[in-house]
């Protein structure tokens, strides 16, 4: 991981200190919440406007963050990812959220779509720490946030559904993901910002005839709308 120096950036240090001091114990009564109630509380806590200095967290990491999707967009994407019969959420489903940020897509997958297991990987370690803190504090099991570059952390062999809000991912990372997925026999669906043409150029093998395009996915704050593509592996 390449780190940038920002000289005496005390604001960023202050944010990291706050994240490191977050309490770990679950909330009272959290284990009795319905998934809907837990998701409501998780999302209230993850509202980025309430996390002081949230945008500063990525400043020491050489990555673009590009923002977050609104909850309605996340619901559209996850519905798209789970609509094919082999992608319905079953007991062996594992959603991998590459670039999981502060974890909202991961929590939506776990609590609203019922994925039994979700793994988020995020290079900006304080963001992964916030997400894990929220999971621990709300007693959300089956979800885990790993801090680090996905190239180092790796793609879990059991991953079935891969979500990558890949806006801003460098070409080398996309090419690495293509190589990893080509060697991975378990993935059933990939949701991504990169177009099928870009994935083709990166060398990913996928089923050309089945790609779905999701449009009008709106972002928190900016009101920007992106498209995402749902890709399936070639027939095995
Ligand atoms: C567009 S944001 C998506 C945030 C969140 N998943 C969402 O959908 O709201 C992309 C995230 O990918 C992370 N990222 C970029 N390169 C990465 C890498 N090599 N390994 C892990 N995370 C990475 C960034 O730090 C950023 O948080």
pLDDT in tens, 169-186: 999 999 999 999 999 999
Asked, for residue 1, whether it belongs to a domain, the answer is no
Among 57, 68, 76, which Cα is nearest to 104's?
68
Question: Which amino acid residue places its CA nearest to atom 1 of ligand 1?
Answer: 66
Supply the pTM of this predicted model. Answer: 0.90
**Tens digits of residue pLDDT in 51-90:** 545 555 666 676 766 678 889 999 999 999 999 999 999 9
Task: For residue 221, count CB atoms less than 10 angstroms from its CB and return exposed for 0-12, middle for 13-18, buried for 19 or more.
Answer: exposed
Asked, for residue 5, whether it belongs to a domain, the answer is no
What is the best residue among 81, 99, 102 to mutate for testing ligand 1's pocket, by most ligand atoms within 8 Å of CB?
A: 99
Asked, for residue 171, whether it belongs to a domain, the answer is yes
Q: What are phi and psi of 50, to 5 degrees?
A: -95, -10
How many domains does the chain fold into? 1
Q: Which two tokens stand for residue 227?
A: 């498209």
Q: What is the CATH number of the domain that holds 69?
A: 3.40.50.150
Asked, for residue 187, whether it belongs to a domain, the answer is yes
Q: Are 95 and 163 in contact (CB under 8 A)?
A: yes
Q: Are 35 and 114 in contact (CB under 8 A)?
A: yes
Asked, for residue 163, whether it belongs to a domain, the answer is yes
How far does residue 56's CA lie from ligand 1's centre (Å)? 14
- Spatial distance between the Cα atoms of 127 and 68, rounded to a whole number of angstroms: 13
Asked, for residue 3, whether it belongs to a domain, the answer is no
Q: Which two tokens stand for residue 93?
A: 């489903």
How far does residue 28's CA lie from ligand 1's centre (Å)? 31
Angle at 176 between CA 158 and CA 48, to 5 degrees: 75
Structural domain containing residue 180: 10-21+28-231
Query: pLDDT (tens digit, 0 to 9) for every residue of the chain, 236 residues total?
Result: 334 444 444 456 666 666 667 777 777 888 888 888 888 888 877 765 555 455 556 666 767 666 788 899 999 999 999 999 999 999 999 999 999 988 999 999 999 999 999 999 999 888 888 889 889 888 899 999 999 999 999 999 999 999 999 988 999 999 999 999 999 999 999 999 999 999 999 999 999 999 999 999 998 877 789 899 999 999 98
How far does residue 53's CA lie from ligand 1's centre (Å)? 17
Asked, for residue 217, whether it belongs to a domain, the answer is yes
Asked, for residue 236, whether it belongs to a domain, the answer is no
- Spatial distance between the Cα atoms of 220 and 224, rounded to a whole number of angstroms: 8
User: Which residues, judged by CB distance below 6 Å to any ligand atom, belong to the binding site of ligand 1?
Assistant: 58, 63, 65-66, 68-69, 97, 99-101, 104-105, 121-124, 127, 149-151, 165, 167, 169, 173
- Please state the separation of Cα 231 from the chain's center in Å: 17
């Amino acid at each position: 991981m390449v780190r940038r120096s920002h000289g005496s950036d005390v604001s960023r240090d202050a944010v990291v200190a706050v994240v490191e001091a977050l309490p770990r114990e679950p909330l009272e009564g959290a284990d009795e919440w319905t998934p809907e109630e837990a998701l409501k509380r998780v999302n209230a806590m993850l509202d980025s406007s309430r996390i002081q200095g949230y945008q500063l967290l990525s400043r020491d990491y050489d990555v673009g963050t590009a923002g977050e999707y609104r909850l309605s967009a996340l619901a559209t994407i996850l519905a798209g990812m789970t609509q094919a019969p082999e992608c319905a959420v079953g007991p062996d489903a594992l959603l991998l959220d590459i670039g999981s940020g502060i974890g909202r897509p991961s929590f939506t997958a776990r609590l609203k779509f019922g994925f039994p297991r979700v793994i988020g990987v995020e290079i900006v370690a304080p963001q992964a720490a916030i997400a894990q803190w929220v999971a621990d504090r709300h007693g959300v099991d089956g979800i885990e946030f790993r801090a680090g570059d996905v190239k180092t952390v790796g793609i879990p062999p059991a991953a079935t559904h891969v979500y990558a809000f890949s806006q801003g991912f460098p070409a080398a990372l996309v090419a690495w993901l293509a190589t990893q997925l080509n060697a991975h026999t378990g993935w059933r669906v990939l949701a991504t910002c990169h177009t099928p043409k870009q994935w083709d150029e990166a060398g990913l093998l996928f089923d050309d005839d089945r790609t779905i395009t999701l449009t009008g996915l709106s972002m928190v704050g900016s009101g920007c709308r992106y498209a995402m593509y749902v890709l399936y592996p070639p027939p095995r």
